[in-house]
Amino acid sequence: METTFPHLPPEIEAAVAAQNGGPVSVTGQQGAHVVMSLAIFRDMMGVGDDEVFARSVAELRISLAQAEAGETMLLDEVRTKLTDKFGA
């Protein structure tokens, strides 16, 4: 579920701008959060254009749904499968 807010509070936007786009750690009522510009986020994630970004977000949503459904593997299982497929 994606939530969009109309405006970033000015003090947080100023902090992000002061860090050339962020990231900036912000303490909220439910813990720490990271705020950054979309350009910085895309650069960090390697998703420069809108199409690649949309595909990445869609894949992340699929992965989260799989985890919520219990469709997970132990790290040792993953390591074994990857070693079998690609070698040491």
Give the pLDDT mean for 14-43. 90
Query: Tell me, what's the pLDDT at 9?
Result: 87
**How many Å apart are CA 22 and CA 32, to the nearest integer?**
15
Contact status, residue 58 vs residue 50, Cβ threshold 8 Å:
no
Q: What single-letter amino acid sits at 72?
A: T
Q: Residue 3 pLDDT > 80, yes or no? A: no
Return the domain boundaries, the chain: 7-46, 48-88
Residue 1: pLDDT band (50, 70, 90) is very low
Asked whether the predicted pLDDT for residue 6 surpasses 90, the reply is: no
Render pLDDT for 34-80 as a digit per residue (tens, 0 to 9).
999 988 888 888 877 888 888 888 999 999 999 999 999 999 999 99
Q: Under DSSP, is residue 84 helix (H, G, I), strand (E, B) or coil?
A: helix
